[in-house]
Structure 1
């Protein structure tokens, strides 16, 4: 790989790490934000919800937009949006303004993730697999190290530091990208003459609006009912309205020629559907713990943000170390054994969490985090391999987009689960209930992984 390609890879990598880094650093900031803005746990959880909802919508939309407007322009625009949002969020005077900037930050960082891989695929032709694996390390490493980095920053410089830390990454990426990413091809004539109405149809604007409105209404209805400690008619109506809106979304996606989420593809290829459902369930479990354990350590155990970040480093390091081992294992034996072991580790870890008490030794916490870290490393590689094995080559792009959407839906559902179990205040009793629920979810993953061989044999026959 020549020097120019190496700098191009660094430029893109510095940009795409911002999305997973900012989605994971917030895990250790939730208790501190509760104190600063004097809000309950459910309200502060919208820092997580809004980021993932915006990412779920932005990724496929930006991917399509880059085909029309150019990937270099989209990447640089994403860096500019991330810079402005990070600076404004650090200076936010109200929680509402912080949420707005968090949404802008999510959209900006999603713009880079959506087109970063494409830029590398197009412009780096030698040792392309190695280049893509480096980008994966940027992403997975940032996600795994986020809680540790966030804990250190909050301990020394308070919560605005988790937004200020983006600025040097953005500045370096913008400087390198401006010089190394080749200029985009001129817009095709069809794109230059596209009307606003045709553009909206291509992007499936009605589908995006239905999906976003339905999901937010459902989340607000369910979380508000739990936070108020009672089921009142307005919340029931709001949740029901969200469900109905999502029903219209499914109907629209099934009929439209250019769907936001291609449901017809899922119906045509049941193996892809199975992979996406399993991946969504995995993320429900993993992210419920990823955001729940730091709150347990800080709220129940009284551990500082710095030491919480240090403990969460166990999860990150085990995840990073397990990934290359998983790659070699899956190359020899296929994804099923690794996914089965991953599900068993998740089950054992969830059961172990249920046995915790407010004074459980630190080694007990580290053992559970190690189990979830190894499980995450196995799952990340195993689910990708399962997706590629179940997807025909001609739709691998669509399948990859669905895969990302499944991850975000899983993270949204994990936040919903945690918020509904905890209500307005994070408590040890609620955390134990969460562990019991996650144990049941983990057992369902064991069943899914065990059934994987049977489903493949049925399809082959």
Structure 2
């Protein structure tokens, strides 16, 4: 079965089990949802092969071009829940259209950027623009569930997950092809036609607010959004460059975080309802799993790849080939179990395999046969597919329907926090290069993180109920 057939199959299977008078999920929504949701991963993955030529073009060292990556993650981590809250208030259509329009604008800004500074600014704008589609999609799923009576649209959730994983796999190859055809500018230019396609599909197919079943919010908590953004930015900037010189940043994050909590607890319509969130232990556990899982996933992806290139002396293309089975395993795992709404089994299997994969890193040295790192990479890909999909399904069942957009945005924020924690861990253990000793030390940390993930999963009894009730 091809990947394309798999996506179509898992999307189509959600029609089964619906009430005879429900009418089924509106399939015209699938194309704009999927196209919008891939904008972030395609821009993240294509850039991996463009950092060297961009640095050469502007005479910038890797320490400066790295901000092209971190700027996107930083902007997205902050913007996801903010735009999600706006989706809750105004509906998905205006935010989706505005966000995808910003993607096209960011592409044009990057093409004509005279220096690295404006190119980094375009990545910030791109991060904001690409933050709209995912919370908009989750909102639409909940709205359609209300209309059709289908409580668990697992097929559409799986299709979103598979499409994101597929584009992450082909992104570096696509980026290399575009650079070969017309230089690094083309990886930014492609955002213009992608933006136009989203605008056309979104304008034609997304429902207007009057057509939606979920009641929008009344007010936007601007002060709460500002305090939240200040807390996240200060914390993430410290993670990107930890050290005594930046010790003030955690203090800033602590002060703004305390101010955020004080403000939100006194608002009748807060940006993030901490009282409800505090009482929703299953949703908090889902966020914790997302943070733990993606810390391990990103640390493995970056740390393992650097070790292959530096200690095993593989070229970037050779290292990419070794990682290809990891992405393939993630896609296959998602396709095989995507239509099943139950999440506990996926999370348990994923956590156990993640522990085993991290333990496997301790076996690696420069003389080990190449099939061993290939096998480890393949194994680690399985939890990458299972855990991401399961957490997405769990959030859909656990979040307050009136705050589905902001809740979905926070799920992405915790994933990006995991990416930055992984980056900090790699920097700490590879201070003197991507050595085998550094990889083994990193593996020990990841074993602890993966064991915590397994513990949180086993202890969460609420997972037994997710996906059991289907209308």
Task: Tell me the TM-score range normalised by the shorter chain.
Answer: 0.7 to 0.9
Q: SS in structure 1 opposite 2:248?
A: helix
Q: CA separation in 2, counterparts of 1:314 and 1:431?
A: 20
408, 411, 422: which one aligns with 2:416: 408
Find out whether 1:143 has 2:164 as its counterpart.
Answer: no
Equivalent pair of 2:224/2:271 in contact (CA under 8 Å): yes
Gaps of 5+ in 1: 192-197
Match of 1:162 among 174, 187, 191: 187
SS of residue matched to 2:259: helix
Pick aligned residue for 1:342 from 342, 350, 355:
350
SS of residue paired to 2:130: helix
Partner of 1:261: 272
The equivalent residue for 1:96 is 117
Aligned to 1:324: 335
Mapped contact 1:155–1:305 kept (Cα < 8 A): no
Aligned partner of 1:107 in structure 2 is: 128
**Quick one: structure 1 residues 348 and 68, their matched pair in 2 at CA, closer, same or farther if it must change by over 3 Å?**
closer
How far apart are residue 265 of structure 1 and its match? 2.1
- Alignment pair present for 1:290 and 2:301: yes
- Cα gap change, 1:28/1:239 in structure 2, threshold over 3 Å: closer, same or farther? farther
Deviation at residue 120 of structure 1 after TM alignment: 6.4
Deviation at residue 448 of structure 1 after TM alignment = 2.5
Q: 1:207 aligns with which of 200, 216, 224?
A: 224
Select the residue among 363, 366, 369 that pairs with 2:374: 366
Q: 2:234 aligns with which of 204, 217, 225?
A: 217
Question: For the structure 1 residues 78 and 272, does the alpha-carbon distance in structure 2 shift closer, same or farther, using more than 3 Å as the test?
Answer: closer
Q: Name which of structure 1's ranges 131-140 and 262-271 shifts more when overlaid on structure 2.
A: 131-140
Give yes or no for the alignment of 1:175 onto 2:200: yes
Asked if structure 1 preserves the Cα contact closer than 8 Å seen for 2:81 and 2:407, the reply is no
1:98 & 1:420 partners in 2: Cα distance?
28
- CA 1:390/1:444 → structure 2, altered by over 3 Å: closer, same or farther? same
Determine which of 77, 91, 101 is the counterpart of 1:56.
77
Higher mean alpha-carbon deviation, 36-45 vs 371-380, is at 36-45
Match of 2:101 in 1: 80
Deviation (angstroms), 1:105? 0.5
Are 1:144 and 1:319, in contact at CA under 8 Å, matched by a contact in 2? no
User: Distance in 2 between the 1:428 and 1:33 partners?
Assistant: 30
Separation of aligned partners in 1, 2:227 and 2:141: 33
From the superposition, tell whether residues 282 and 32 of structure 1 become closer, same or farther in structure 2 (CA, over 3 Å).
farther
Deviates more, 1:311-320 or 1:388-397: 388-397
Query: Deviation digits for residues 398-440 of structure 1, max 9, x if unmatched?
Result: 6545433333332333333334444597666544433332122
Of 348, 363, 369, the match for 1:355: 363
String of CA shifts for 1:73-132, please: whole Å, max 9, x gaps.
Answer: 332222221112123224434332222111101111112333244456658967973555
The whole-number CA distance in structure 1 between the counterparts of 2:437 and 2:118 is 32
Greater share of helix: 1
Cα distance in 2, alignment partners of residues 28 and 312 from structure 1: 15
C-alpha separation between the residues in 2 aligned to 1:316 and 1:400?
Answer: 23
Aligned residue among 283, 291, 300 for 1:280: 291
Asked whether the 8 Å contact 1:314–1:366 carries over to 2, the reply is yes
Cα deviation for residue 280 of structure 1 reads: 1.4
- The residue number in structure 2 matching 1:383 is 391
- Structure 1 residues 374-418: Cα deviation after superposition (integer angstroms, max 9, x where no partner): 111221233234445655777766654543333333233333333
C-alpha displacement of 1:146:
3.3
CA contact (8 A) 1:23 1:48 kept: yes
Task: Please give the secondary structure, in 2, of the residue aligned with 1:110.
Answer: coil
Task: Please tell me the root mean square deviation across aligned C-alpha atoms, in Å.
Answer: 4.0
Q: Which runs of 5+ in 2 are unaligned?
A: 1-11, 13-22, 466-471
| Counterparts in 2 of 1:28 and 1:401: CA distance versus 1, 3 Å | same
Deviation at 1:150, TM superposition (A): 3.9
Using the alignment, how far apart are the partners of 2:251 and 2:276 within structure 1? 28
Structure 1 stretch displaced more, 152-161 or 368-377: 152-161
Measured in 1, the distance between the counterparts of 2:271 and 2:431 equals: 32
23, 34, 51: which one aligns with 1:13: 34
SS of aligned partner of 1:255: coil
